[in-house]
Amino acid sequence: MLKKIRMTTSIIVLGLSLYGLFSNHNEMLPYTMAGLAVLMVIMGAEELQKNRKSYRSYLLFGVSAFLLLVAIQDFIN
């Protein structure tokens, strides 16, 4: 289930990124960062679901929190 959600989210983020790249619309950047944050949360949940005792899942959660903060700050400005 998480794999399908991850693939769907990654396709959406890729589409947003390509649209912003080719059309030079910098207004799409906060949406792309928020999508990447959601994607990293999903990847971290997959790592925790596999019962791996590694730092990777915690790193993914931390980076996603940072991306969400940056995206929210960009939405405000």
pLDDT of residue 54: 78
Q: What is the pTM of this model?
A: 0.85
pLDDT of residue 1: 87
Residue 50: pLDDT band with limits 50, 70, 90: confident
Helix, strand or coil for residue 77? coil
Average pLDDT rounded to a whole number, residues 29-37: 92
> Which residue's entry shows tokens 């390509």?
18
Looking at the structure of the chain, the number of domains it has is 1
DSSP codes, 21-41: HHHT-GGGHHHHHHHHHHHHH
Predicted confidence (pLDDT) per residue in 53-77, tens digit: 778 888 999 999 999 999 899 888 7
Predicted confidence (pLDDT) per residue in 10-28, tens digit: 999 999 999 999 998 888 8
Domain coverage including residue 51: 2-76
- Alpha-carbon 2 to chain mean position: 14
